[in-house]
Amino acid sequence: MKYKAIRGMEDILPEDIGNWQWIEKTAREILESYGYAEIRTPILEDASIFTRSIGEETDIVTKEMYAFKDKKERKLALRPEGTAPIVRAYVEHSLDNMPFGNKLYYIGPMFRSERPQKGRQRQFHQIGVEAFGSNSPHADAEVIMQLDNMLKSLGLRNYTIDLNSLGCRKDKIKFADELKSYLKDKQNRLCDDCKVRVKKNILRVLDCKKDVCIQVLKNAPNVLSSLCDSCKNSYEKLKACLSSLGIDFKEKKNLVRGLDYYTGTVFEITHASLGSQDAIGAGGRYDDLVKDFGGIDTGAVGYALGMERIIIALGKKEISVKKVLYLATLGDKAKVEGFRIAGKIRSAIPHLTVMTDIKEASLKSQLRFADKSGAKFVLILGDNEISKGIVILRDMSSQKQIEVSIEGVIEELRKYVPKDEGRRTRDGKD
């Protein structure tokens, strides 16, 4: 019996892992340069943290969340997103008292039982950030600036930052009422999903992509006209700040987001290469959530990027993170001496991958394997070389080989593998 991975949950194979590692490394470097500290929370949580925060009537909770009862009848869920668990941890560990607790980031798998298609999996991965402790629009601006900085460093171009504000909780209620009155005599023209949304989660009607609904909503009230003075001021300040920083954004009045916890600023990053699943990331403010989870009354803003979607948007360029050296050996004595030499090279040049034969393969097969594994260099060592105190260094691209003394091999390799060779950009440039 041959098993397969569960539908919508994909293996990330060694041939693709370079992209993932490079994105994670780049993200970590940038996030840490902005003062974010990493947090890792469990994949399994009490299901109610998601029901309460994302919203009981949202698609994520009603249709997509993997929720189940364990043997003790506790209702658990595989996390569909990262914000609720981070807020749970922030309150549980009083992170507001910690010097590093204000800005947190996470990288890891999330789970939603959606219909799989390109850019939409049931297990997918997010890089997310949550910045706590400020109600100021400057916090939103810094988060968006950091996001823009990260997308550019990842080599992404031609993305769009859509921006909107939903206002505070009071504004949202006021706007939902206005929308309800507007739709009162038009509801029967909406799609079936939106007919349900009107009753359960009316704001979501606004971002329905179906033509019938777009037509009905053509003259719908604008959420921005329902903002109170304070929310309006914050939103204007944010836009002015982003413009001064030269960050391009597009105001999108029907951007509402599918999670109930948002208040104030919301944003979404889209990229044309993704087709219908075009959001590579999204986020916004959630000023009530920490308090709702029993914590202090504090503002918070964050976002999450979908890693699979970033990879699609970047295109299929492979990233070779490390150069490979293959040490081919002949005979037992050379094998042991080879292990010793390989160990010394690994300690001296850690960004070089050093592979040795462990299958007792012939020299010919070892060279074939070296070629297949993309080795740039091969060291050849047999009894003859050991007795002379040398090793043969073959450059695989030019096929030229030279004899190098065993003691001088590290110095020789350094000529070909500069110190920082492991830190490569996507284009392969240092």
CA-based nearest residue to 304, from 155, 125, 142, 46: 125
Residue 130 Cβ vs ligand HAM, minimum distance, rounded to whole Å: 5
CA gap 419, 349 in Å, rounded: 8
List the x/- string, 129-148, binding to ligand HAM by CB under 6 A.
-x------------------
Give the nearest distance from C-beta 270 to ligand HAM in angstroms.
Answer: 9
Contact region for ligand HAM (CB under 6 A) — 117-125, 160-168, 371-379, 390-398? 117-125
> Is residue 203 a contact partner of residue 217, using CB atoms and an 8 Å limit?
no
Distance between CA atoms of residues 410 and 198, nearest Å: 70
> By rule CB under 6 A, what string of x and - marks binding of each residue 9-28 to ligand HAM?
--------------------
Decide if residue 303 touches ligand HAM (CB under 6 A). yes
Binding mask 278-297 for ligand HAM (x = CB under 6 A): -xxxxxx-------------
- Rule CB under 6 A: is residue 81 a binding residue for ligand HAM? yes
DSSP reduced 3-state for 16: helix
Number of residues that bind ligand HAM (CB under 6 A): 24
Q: Is 124 in the site for ligand HAM (CB under 6 A)?
A: yes
For residues 45 and 76, is the Cβ–Cβ distance under 8 A? yes
Contact assessment for residue 131 and residue 146, using Cβ atoms and an 8 Å cutoff? no
Question: Does residue 285 contact residue 231 with C-beta atoms inside 8 Å?
Answer: no
Buried b / exposed e over 310-326, threshold 16 CB at 10 Å, is bbbbbeeeebebbbbbb
At how many degrees (to 10) do helices 137-153 and 229-244 cross? 40
CB of 281 to ligand HAM, least distance (A): 5
Measured in whole angstroms, how far is the alpha carbon of residue 285 from the centre of its chain? Answer: 19
Positive or negative torsion for Cα 354, 359, 363, 368: negative
Residue nearest to ligand HAM (CB): 306
By CB under 6 A, is residue 83 in contact with ligand HAM? yes
The residue (of 110 and 227) whose beta carbon lies closer to ligand HAM is: 110
Return d(Cα 9, Cα 81) in angstroms, integer: 16
Closest approach, Cβ 223 to ligand HAM, in A, equals 18
Report the nearest approach of ligand HAM to the CB of residue 65 (Å). 12
Q: Which stretch binds ligand HAM (CB under 6 A): 78-86, 217-225, 232-240, 392-400?
A: 78-86
Candidate list 10, 24, 46, 114; residue touching ligand HAM; CB under 6 A: 114
Binding site for ligand HAM (CB under 6 A): 81-83, 112, 114, 119-121, 124, 126, 128, 130, 279-284, 302-304, 306, 308-309
